[in-house]
Amino acid sequence: MRFGILVFPGTWSDADCYYQVKDVLGQDADYVWHREESLDGFDCVILPGGFSYGDYLRAGAIARFSPVMNALSDFASAGGLVVGICNGFQVLCEAGLLPGVLMRNAHLEYRCQWTNLRAERTDTPFTTRCGLLQSLRIPVSHGEGNYYADADTLDRLERNGQVLFRYCDDAGRIAETCNPNGSARNIAGIINERGNVLGMMPHPERSCEPLLGSDDGNLIFLSVIDSFR
Amino acid sequence: MPVTKEILDEIALSQAEYGMIVDRLDREPNPVELGMFGALWSEHCGYKHSRPLLRLFPSRSPRVLSQSGAENAGAVDIGDGLAVVFKVESHNHPSAVEPLQGAATGVGGIVRDILAMGARPIALLNSLRFGPLDSAQNRHLFRGVVEGISWYGNCIGVPDVAGEIYFDDSYSQNPLVNAMCVGVVSTDKLASAAAGQSGSVLLLVGADTGRDGIHGASGLASRTFEEEQELRPTVQVGNPFLEKVLIESCLEALETGCVTGIQDLGAAGLTSAAIESAYRGGRGIILDLSRVHRREPGMTGYEVMLSESQERMLLVTPPENVETVRKVFQKWDVPCNEIGQVIRQPQAHIVDGEESVAQLPIEQLTEAPRYRLKGAPSSEQLERQQLSLGDVPLPSQGVPDTLLQLLASPNIASKRSVYQQYDHQVQTNTVVGPGSDAAVLRIKGSNKAIALSIDCNSRYCFLDPYRGGQIVVAEVCRNLSSTGAEPLALTDCLNFGNPERPEIYYQLEWCVRGMAHACRFLGVPVVSGNVSLYNESQGQAIYPTPIVGGLGLLEDVNARVPSAFPEEGLAVYLLGQSSLRPRASDLAGSEILQVTHQRVAGRPSISLPLEQRVQALCRQAIAQELILSAHDCSEGGLAVALAECAIPTGVGFLGTTVLSRLARRWDCVLFGERQSRIAVTLRWEDAAKLGFIAAEMDVPVLEVGHTGGNRFRLGRYADLLLSEVADAWEGGLDRALVS
């Protein structure tokens, strides 16, 4: 299958995502410059991490106006799979493709550290390779990853099964001490109602080989690949 | 125009130097010309006090591809057609004035040095010094610097993989911020800073030129802290987003093959970039300042030539290729303007539209005067070296509390709360990140990895500059060897006080001599560096602080070991020592002497032959898979090193009675800082084999205990819960910040 990796000025995980899907997982992949107006030919589009437009104004706030975002909206409406990682998650929220916002970390500091994530569902195209409630070792690296939505929205997300990943301990238990940024209900990643757009703060592309400390991040993209078989 | 002392002070030139300029030109320079001389003859650009000393460093080896000083950073061949490029540079004075922006732009500046070699920046390291954290001003500087590095480094997508931080009174008004950057490039794509063929076009790309940072090189770097307080507006302001797109656009432009020269605009801005580029190419330049894109109207030629606005690069390209290069920058929305051209005569013609601004011979500008100053040790220097064990009472609190106190000392305590604010994983090469002896980064597309470390114990240098200089080099190499990597080359940043004072020049000269001697002995060249002098406030100089960054190579990324105990049931050995007999020199400049006796005294010592053999043994035993973890003994000595091995993995340590057999002077035995020692783990069945190789290589080794359990036991001296030991170390820095 063919992955498209969006590149905005200031994106920095583009090469890491490319390396994971192409070199580690052996799939076709191409970079897509933010001025492109079409996403034809891609099966899954990744919005990588970084500081698009320097995150000036607000993380993701300027990138959402890039020409490629219209194409992305059409791509998602047509059921294409979209994975927004870190800054990509922020862009998806700003663009209205996912609900909620990512606020400054509660402790006001940038945080780069390993976290454990629990997959809350294994019947989505992003998680079929994960065990139910399995703890995945995947790192975060962000200053604005504190997920927030009003209580009604959060309740709706929970009801619809849209909360896909939560920060947990290495045994899969949810606790406030495992939450690196103050996110509401330990939320690390959500999907849209239709279930084809994923946004997550942790970086699965950074846990793609045991040499780097974990290859749990591959499970997400292997699930995506499986869904096209 | 008669020149006044005020004008000369502004640009940090002496009356005699002014006279020299008039002699060379056979006329008075105009203000712009004088400003250009001031910038290029500053210590930062011209090395007028340090160049004769820098020549002492060995700079060649079969792997070194660059000639020291000829390019922006040193390049080292690591095989497979790849070169590693690296350099460390200071940003002390701007950080003292405005810590966040000072540190941020320090990171930005060193990254552009690496970019100017055509290399992709793959790692950042930093070395920081502050005054004690019980002062609000020092806490402000500390927090600001860390935030600046985090803000800038994280945004540009270059991982910050290793560093060190120390606190001492001598840095109270004068913090040190040294940033190191490492890049990788194909050996056939190493870029040059030389201007190239006459007729080539000079392109200025990146940020608009503003009024910030004027006199950064000559002014800030020669003034004292009190004067700097008023200079806040001259500190440069960084834009890390622009730096990120500048990295990508410049690398893409270089990829077209249309760029023949590339140079960053750092200290002294356009003046230094254009003149040095012309000088390296043996050419001249014409610059038209009216074509420089400016941030504000009304800027004078002087301001444009000396602005230190960040995120700018100068590219040289043949005229027929300008359009190709311009298109790349258009794609990235990065301003790109033709501002001049290379000419055959080695002259600098600076014009502003129709008006001539400066006309100078290149060589006169770049040939800064050289001064060989005379050093002499101060009378206190010899007094400080006196230390006999008879004068040092044993700490009354006993071993357990001394251990906990040392582990919690901000100099030794875990720096996690700092480095977790730095992205240390982006680019997915980080195999071993911060918090170890050295970082290890795999090189994608090969089986190799590089090891990186940065270090300096300035207390040792203060007590004995010559031996301290040797120890700095030895320890950086030891850090690299402790991962299994072979040290290949070093970069250095010499942070000292005012060299015009004999006792400071003495420190500078003998530190350099000691470092150079150790470099030759251990076979590692110095391939790049930087000098920061006049680090003083209220007449008080900082400790002599020659920061050294090291590059090591692992032919096989899997042939590396961690510093922490990997598992239970392993034997723990000490390489480099066969008996724990106490010596006064063990305590020289040690953390225990400072923390428990508030003394900085003694004369540190090192044997380079032993050092070399210990490191060789460590590397060989790692390659043979005998050694499973290795951690160098440094500040806090053996006991602290063992605790640092146990804490990260939660694997306890049970020390043998050898630790307590010898006696009364447990301060020397457990916390002394004798050099050339590495604590390692191995399987019991491999102990005899290690002993055999060690004997063959003439390295003393000593069994000191084994791993396991949840306690940390030092013979009969201390038996603590590992969690208690961990808490002291992990929380030490945060508690010091709050108190």
Q: What is the pLDDT of residues B544-598, one digit of tens each?
A: 999 999 999 999 999 999 999 999 999 999 999 988 888 889 999 999 999 999 9
Q: Quick check: A34 contacting B, CB < 8 Å?
A: no
Which chain A residues touch B241 with a CB distance below 8 Å?
9-10, 51, 53-56
Mutate to test the interface with A, among B426, B436, B442 (most CBs of A within 10 A): B426
How deeply is B284 buried, as exposed, middle or buried, from its count of CB atoms within 10 A (0-12, 13-18, 19+)?
buried
pLDDT, tens only, B225-246: 455 455 555 678 899 999 999 9
Q: Quick check: A12 contacting B, CB < 8 Å?
A: yes
Q: Which residue on chain B is closest to A210 by alpha carbon?
A: B431
| CA torsion, ordered B419, B534, B600, B702, to nearest 10 deg | 50
Question: Using only C-alpha atoms, what is the Rg of chain B?
Answer: 26
Mutate to test the interface with B, among A11, A12, A20, A87 (most CBs of B within 10 A): A12
pLDDT, tens only, B86-109: 999 999 999 999 999 999 999 999
Cβ-defined contact of A12 to B244 (cutoff 8 Å): yes
Cβ-defined contact of A208 to B428 (cutoff 8 Å): yes
Provide the sign of the torsion angle of the four alpha carbons B149, B154, B157, B163, taken in this order. positive
pLDDT at residue B372 tops 90: no
- The answer for A50, left when phi > 0, alpha when psi is -120 to 50, beta otherwise, is left
> Alpha-carbon distance B127 to B122, whole Å?
17
Q: Quick check: B154 contacting A, CB < 8 Å?
A: yes
Strands (E), B47-171: 74-79, 82-90, 120-130, 160-167
Residue B49 is among the residues annotated as catalytic for this protein = no
Q: Quick check: B427 contacting A, CB < 8 Å?
A: yes
Instruction: Take residue B560 and report the two structure tokens written for it.
Output: 């590396």
Q: Which residue on chain B is closest to A215 by alpha carbon?
A: B428
Provide the sign of the torsion angle of the four alpha carbons B355, B360, B365, B369, taken in this order. negative
pLDDT of residue B547: 98
Q: Quick check: A56 contacting B, CB < 8 Å?
A: yes
Cβ-defined contact of A53 to B240 (cutoff 8 Å): no
**Band of the pLDDT at B82, cuts 50, 70, 90?**
very high
> Alpha-carbon distance B439 to B452, whole Å?
5
Residue B44 is among the residues annotated as catalytic for this protein = yes
Cβ-defined contact of A112 to B420 (cutoff 8 Å): yes
**What mean pLDDT is reported for chain B?**
93
Mutate to test the interface with A, among B425, B441, B557, B737 (most CBs of A within 10 A): B425
Average pLDDT over residues B645-652: 98
Q: What 3-state DSSP class applies to B521?
A: helix
Q: Which residue on chain A is closest to B427 by alpha carbon?
A: A16
**B559 CA: distance to closest CA in chain A (Å):** 12
Q: Name the strand (E) or helix (H) holding B479.
A: helix B465-481
- φ, ψ of residue B204 to 5 degrees: the values are -100, 120
Task: Say what angle helices B722-738 and B637-646 make with each other, to 10 degrees.
Answer: 100
Q: From the candidates B44, B49, B93, B517, which is the catalytic residue?
A: B44
Q: Quick check: A94 contacting B, CB < 8 Å?
A: no
Which of A40-54, B112-126, B332-346, B657-671 shows the lowest per-residue confidence on average (mean pLDDT)? B657-671
SS3 annotation, chain A? CEEEEEECCCECCHHHHHHHHHHHCCCEEEEEECCCCCCCCCCEEEECCECHHHHCCCCCCCHHHCCHHHHHHHHHHCCCEEEEECHHHHHHHHCCCCCCEEECCCCCCCEEEEEEEEECCCCCCCCCCCCCCCEEEEEEEECCCEEECCHHHHHHHHHCCCEEEEEECCCCCCCHHHCCCCCHHHEEEEECCCCCEEEECCCHHHCCEHHHCECCCHHHHHHHHHCCC
ipTM over 0.95: yes
Please give the share of chain A, as a percent, with pLDDT higher than 70. 100
Q: From the candidates A17, A86, A130, A208, which is the catalytic residue?
A: A86
Identify which has the larger pLDDT, B211 or B135.
B135
Q: Quick check: B30 contacting A, CB < 8 Å?
A: no
Cβ-defined contact of A54 to B430 (cutoff 8 Å): no
Instruction: Take residue A194 and report the two structure tokens written for it.
Output: 């239709």
Which chain A residues touch B424 with a CB distance below 8 Å?
112
Task: Say what angle helices B465-481 and B502-522 make with each other, to 10 degrees.
Answer: 40
pLDDT of residue B218: 53
**Band of the pLDDT at B69, cuts 50, 70, 90?**
low
Q: Nearest by CB to B426, from A33, A141, A211: name it.
A: A141
Q: Which residue on chain B is closest to A52 by alpha carbon?
A: B241
Number of A:B CB contacts under 8 A? Answer: 81
Average pLDDT over residues A17-41: 97
Cβ-defined contact of B444 to A112 (cutoff 8 Å): no
Instruction: Take residue B556 and report the two structure tokens written for it.
Output: 């096989």
B284-288 vs B347-352, strand pairing mode: parallel
Q: Quick check: A13 contacting B, CB < 8 Å?
A: yes
pLDDT, tens only, B19-45: 999 999 999 999 999 999 999 998 888
Q: Quick check: A22 contacting B, CB < 8 Å?
A: no
Is residue B717 within 8 A of residue B399, CB to CB? The reply is yes
Q: Nearest by CB to B428, from A110, A111, A205: name it.
A: A205
Q: From the candidates B49, B91, B215, B631, which is the catalytic residue?
A: B91
pLDDT, tens only, B700-728: 999 999 999 999 999 888 999 999 999 99
